[in-house]
């Protein structure tokens, strides 16, 4: 049925970079056998799922929506995807994204744009726009995305679906093609909180192959689906609701806060410091790490190699010039600049210090509150083409999401209404480190 739905809508939406219908039917038959033999139970057995194209899948092309990896077929599968498969999910294919996850609309993909299923004149958000559009258009029941600075939460908001960015270290990054390694986390996208909790449970486990993976004892995230919000302390950062926030988004998010209050939560306004510094610190750190991470794509080890070069240096140059798109090049240049001798202290080190101070601000907030309630983005989905004109403006749209990655916190987006254009609005709930269960509990109680 999902493949039929893909047949009906994929032409318009273009959520997938690679579809493997035949492989999916095979996996489904195997899962069916296991279910019948009593070897497989649980909520994800047989559920059609999609995977963002920056997660390696053995034998299936993994492109990061970049020319430079157009024909790259990994020899191993990312741990998070293996977790999904162990739970019995059927992998349909790989979803479109901003090139190397750099962007906020999925328009920087080298393989064409993805359209927002609610209105195809609009962007689905990004960078996990393909995953979120696939869920919203019922071209799969659930998907994996990655979130370095909002790439799960913002497109979830724009597509009216639910998505979780877990605490840094909860989901193995092994097999996730790195963007900003100290910020990247894999997470679930689905229609609602219960589905997201089941997915997160399947992909969270200790993995010694990722040195930043944390051994936890509370992977039973579905236990938080109690429907109970009584006594939860929720803080609303006043600074997030001032200038720059669309009025309809503000209203919908504050209405969600009222609902949580009615359901027994204690809701208060408070001041979260340093919010103005989150975007500059994020773009310095993320670009610095990206410039280093992307140095491996040199035409030798993976994928694309330019033709007609003269010597090794020219081969690197031609390959990288032709293989990377403009946004990726911008980040590599920015990252190389802030890491270069003479500027390192002024930019990179300062950004790291800012990151530490932002974390302290959150620590202070979480000494008074269980959760922070915020919008996921300052506006609803932009019209296709509008964001690419002005990269700086696009970066500013990440205001409510990037500080969560800088502090390593868990956060979730759930739909909380639509604007007058009929486009979805997302509510963001942010928890303290390792408190996914608080986030899930509140989101489920709100729904
Ligand atoms: N829009 C942000 C960026 O371009 C976040 C992307 C992400 O989380 N991968 O860096």
Sign of CA dihedral 304, 306, 310, 314: negative
User: Ligand 1 atom closest to Cα of 395?
Assistant: 1
Q: Enumerate residues lining ligand 1, CB below 6 A.
A: 101-104, 127, 147-151, 179, 286, 398
Which residue among 53, 98, 330, 394 is best mutated to probe the pocket of ligand 1, counting the most ligand atoms within 8 A of its Cβ? 98
Ligand 1 atom closest to Cα of 101?
9
How far apart are the C-alpha atoms of 120 and 97, rounded to whole Å?
A: 16
Q: Which residues are registered as beta bridge partners of 269?
A: 236
192 C-alpha to center of ligand 1: Å?
A: 23
Residue in 109, 151, 291, 387 annotated catalytic: 151
Instruction: Please tell me whether residue 323 adopts helix, strand or coil conformation.
Output: helix
Positive/negative CA dihedral, 225, 415, 140, 179: negative
**Closest ligand 1 atom to 151 CA:** 8
Q: What is the pLDDT of residues 29-67, one digit of tens each?
A: 999 999 999 999 999 999 999 999 999 999 999 999 999
Token pair belonging to 286 = 């993320």
Nearest CA to ligand 1 atom 10: 102
Report pLDDT digits (tens) over 76-127: 999 999 999 999 999 999 999 999 999 999 999 999 999 999 999 999 999 9
Substitution candidate for ligand 1 out of 100, 103, 123, 293 with most atoms within 8 A of CB:
103
Distance from residue 12's CA to the centre of ligand 1 (Å)? 25
Nearest to 240 by CA among 229, 254, 256: 254
* pLDDT attached to residue 10: 98
175 C-alpha to ligand 1 centroid (Å): 19
User: pLDDT digits over 354-398, tens only?
Assistant: 999 999 999 999 999 999 999 999 999 999 999 888 888 899 999
Residue 151 appears among annotated catalytic residues: yes
Q: Is residue 302 over pLDDT 90?
A: no
User: From atom 5 of ligand 1, which residue's Cα is the shortest distance away?
Assistant: 149
Active site residue 52: yes
Provide the CATH number for the domain formed by 2-277+350-446 in this structure.
Answer: 3.90.1300.10
Structural tokens at position 125: 């958000």
From the CA of 54, how far away is ligand 1's center (Å)? 13
pLDDT, position 145: 98
Confidence of residue 429 (pLDDT cuts 50, 70, 90): very high
Write the pLDDT tens digit of every residue in 237-283: 999 999 999 999 999 999 999 999 999 999 999 999 999 999 999 99
189, 286, 335: which to mutate for ligand 1, most atoms within 8 A of CB? 286
The residues facing 426 across adjacent strands are 415
User: In 280-438, at which residue ranges do the beta strands (DSSP E only) sit?
Assistant: 371-375, 411-418, 424-431
Give the pLDDT confidence score for residue 296 in this predicted structure. Answer: 96
Whole-number Å distance, alpha carbon 92 to ligand 1 midpoint, is 25
For ligand 1, the distance from its centroid to the CA atom of residue 1, given in whole angstroms, is 33
Report domain extents, the chain: 2-277+350-446
Q: Collapse the DSSP code of 292 into the 3-class scheme (helix H, G, I; strand E, B; otherwise coil) and give the result.
A: helix
């Amino acid at each position: 049925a999902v493949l039929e739905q893909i047949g009906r809508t994929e032409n318009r939406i273009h959520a997938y970079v690679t579809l493997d219908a035949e492989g999916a039917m095979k996996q489904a038959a195997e899962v069916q056998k296991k279910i019948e033999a009593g070897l497989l139970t649980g909520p994800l057995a047989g559920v059609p799922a999609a995977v963002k194209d920056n997660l390696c899948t053995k034998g299936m092309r993994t492109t990061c929506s970049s020319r430079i990896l157009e024909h790259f077929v990994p020899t191993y599968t990312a741990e998070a995807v293996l977790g999904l498969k162990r739970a019995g999910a059927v992998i349909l294919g790989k979803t479109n994204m901003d090139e190397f996850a750099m962007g906020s609309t999925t328009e920087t993909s080298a393989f064409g744009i993805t359209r927002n299923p609610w209105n195809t004149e609009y962007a689905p958000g990004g960078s996990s726009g393909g995953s979120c559009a696939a869920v919203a258009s019922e071209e799969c029941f659930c998907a994996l995305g990655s979130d370095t600075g909002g790439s799960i939460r913002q497109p979830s908001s724009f597509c009216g679906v639910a998505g979780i960015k877990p605490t840094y270290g909860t989901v193995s990054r092994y097999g996730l093609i790195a963007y900003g390694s100290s910020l990247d986390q894999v997470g679930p996208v689905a229609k609602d909180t219960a589905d997201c909790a089941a997915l997160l449970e399947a992909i969270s486990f200790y993995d010694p192959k990722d040195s930043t993976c944390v051994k936890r004892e509370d992977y039973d995230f579905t236990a938080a689906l109690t429907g109970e919000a009584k006594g939860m302390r929720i803080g609303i950062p006043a600074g997030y609701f001032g200038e720059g926030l669309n009025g309809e988004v503000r209203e919908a998010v504050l209405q969600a806060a009222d609902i949580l209050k009615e359901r027994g939560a204690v809701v208060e306004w408070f001041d979260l410091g340093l919010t103005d510094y989150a975007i500059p610190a994020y773009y310095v750190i993320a670009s610095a790490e990206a410039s280093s991470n992307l140095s491996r794509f040199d035409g030798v080890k993976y994928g694309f190699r330019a033709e007609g070069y003269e010597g090794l240096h020219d081969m690197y140059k031609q390959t990288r010039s032709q293989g990377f798109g403009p946004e990726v090049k911008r980040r590599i240049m920015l990252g190389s600049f802030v890491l270069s001798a003479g500027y390192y202290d002024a930019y990179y080190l300062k950004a790291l210090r800012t990151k530490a101070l932002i974390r302290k601000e959150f620590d202070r907030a979480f000494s008074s509150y269980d959760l922070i309630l915020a919008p996921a983005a300052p506006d609803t989905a932009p019209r296709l083409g509008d964001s690419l004109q002005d990269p700086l403006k696009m970066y500013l749209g990440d205001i409510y999401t990037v500080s969560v990655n800088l502090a390593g916190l868990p956060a979730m987006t759930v739909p909380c209404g639509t604007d007058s254009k009929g486009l979805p609005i997302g509510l963001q709930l942010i928890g303290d480190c390792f408190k996914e269960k608080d986030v899930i509990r509140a989101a489920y109680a709100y729904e």
